[in-house]
């Protein structure tokens, strides 16, 4: 009986060992097939660009895509191990096609390694907010990258504070703008970390690739619905905190105009397209007469809790700029010169 059990156990061990060897061989064969196809694709004239590479060797590129999700571990590994240049562009494009709906939107400069670095940050921060089991169920292709990066399954999830949404129209037009009014409709406010803002906006944002690297960058940026969110590290903290907000229709940034139009009010029910007079109505403005070449005091006195209006004449055009300061926060509202309507708003925290 004991001998039979021993034989059965030995057989099971041998079977498991054989399965492991077979799986390793399958992975190695798949990696070799991908490498061979990439070598053929990259044999085209250097400097041709992604379209020329893949048109000239469409069969090889399609063979990589035909492998489906099984190709992602090796493709991610190649990018993680430093593949750069035009080869990285081809690999990244294949990854993006295989990721499908799990891909991220990035600015135009994010191609090849640029896209990979942004996507990796996105997946790592997603893991910081969610369990591995959640990601495997809801973003299974993104979970492949976490396996490639060898992120431990038991890494704890961050606990984020509850989101507090602003109360609509809760302001007094006879009083100056207050610091606690610097809150967007989605609950985003200064003092929030990058992860807290992502919890408020959701994952459907544009990752602006300029300096988007938490390891080396002083600032990182994302965009959604016409709002650009800028983050910066505090000197005494490794966290990235919300530093500034730039709000305008079209969201032109880094050559890209694709992250949406602003539809929600900013504060005091002010929206893109509102007239200067209607904005005056929302504050205790003491002087409404426009002064083309002089700074115009609207209320209060510097250095804190005041508002001024200036006429700015430049090479690229002229406009009115309203500055409102409330303790540690400031707002700059830009109005068109002729129609005198809100073109954009910049909000910033001054003590970061």
Domain ranges of the chain: 23-148, 179-349
Please provide the DSSP assignment of 263-321 as one string: -S--STT--TT-BHHHHHTTTT-S--S--TTS-EEEES-TTSSEEEEEEEEETTEEEEE
Residue 47: its pLDDT value, please? Answer: 58
List, in order, residues 6 or more apart from 218 with CB less than 8 Å away: 211, 232, 233
Residue 222: its pLDDT value, please? Answer: 87
Strand partners, 189: 183
Residue 310: its pLDDT value, please? Answer: 94
Per-residue pLDDT tens digits of the chain, which is 352 residues long: 555 555 555 565 555 555 455 667 778 889 999 999 999 988 876 655 666 777 778 899 999 999 999 999 999 999 999 998 889 999 999 999 999 999 988 765 557 888 898 888 889 888 988 899 999 999 999 999 999 999 999 888 888 878 777 776 678 999 999 999 999 988 999 989 888 998 888 877 888 755 455 554 567 788 888 888 988 877 666 788 898 998 886 544 343 344 456 667 888 999 989 999 999 999 999 999 988 778 899 999 988 899 999 999 877 778 999 999 998 999 999 999 889 999 999 999 876 5
Residue 236: its pLDDT value, please? Answer: 65
Strand partners, 330: 325, 348
Instruction: Provide the edge-to-edge strand list for the sheet that holds 317-326.
Output: 105-106, 206-208, 219-224, 227-233, 240-248, 342-349, 329-336, 317-326, 306-314, 296-299
Residue 13: its pLDDT value, please? Answer: 54
Model-wide pTM > 0.85: no
């Amino acid at each position: 009986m004991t001998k039979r059990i021993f034989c059965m156990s030995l057989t099971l061990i041998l079977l498991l060992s054989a399965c492991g060897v077979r799986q390793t061989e399958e992975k190695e064969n798949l990696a070799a097939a991908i490498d061979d196809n990439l070598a053929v694709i990259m044999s085209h004239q250097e400097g041709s660009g992604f379209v020329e590479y893949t048109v000239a060797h469409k069969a090889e590129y399609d063979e990589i895509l035909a492998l489906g999700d099984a190709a992602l571990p090796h493709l991610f590994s190649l990018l993680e191990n430093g593949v750069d240049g035009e080869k990285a562009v081809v690999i990244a494009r294949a990854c993006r096609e295989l990721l499908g709906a799990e891909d991220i939107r990035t600015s135009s400069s994010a191609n090849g390694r640029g896209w990979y670095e942004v996507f990796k940050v996105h997946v790592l921060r997603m893991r910081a907010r969610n369990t591995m089991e959640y990601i495997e169920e809801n973003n299974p292709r993104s979970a492949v990258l976490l396996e490639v990066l060898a992120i431990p399954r038991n890494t704890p999830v961050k606990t984020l504070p509850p989101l507090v949404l602003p109360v609509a129209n809760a302001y007094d037009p006879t009083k100056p703008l207050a610091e606690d009014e610097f809150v967007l409709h989605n609950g985003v406010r200064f003092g929030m970390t990058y992860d807290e803002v992502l919890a408020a906006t959701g994952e459907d944002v544009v990752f602006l690739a300029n300096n988007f690297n938490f390891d080396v960058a002083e600032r990182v940026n994302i965009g959604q619905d016409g709002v650009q969110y800028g983050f910066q590290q505090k000197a005494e903290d490794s966290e990235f905190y919300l530093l500034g907000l730039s709000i305008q229709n079209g969201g032109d940034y880094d050559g890209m105009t694709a992250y949406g139009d602003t539809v929600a009010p900013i504060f005091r029910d002010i929206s893109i397209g509102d007239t200067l007079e209607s904005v005056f109505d929302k504050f205790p403005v003491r002087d409404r007469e426009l002064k083309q070449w002089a700074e115009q005091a609207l209320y209060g006195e510097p250095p804190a809790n005041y508002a001024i209006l200036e006429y700015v004449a430049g090479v690229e055009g002229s406009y009115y700029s309203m500055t409102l300061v409330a303790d540690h926060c400031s707002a700059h509202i830009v109005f068109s010169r002729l129609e005198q309507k809100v073109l954009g708003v910049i909000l910033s925290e001054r003590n970061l």
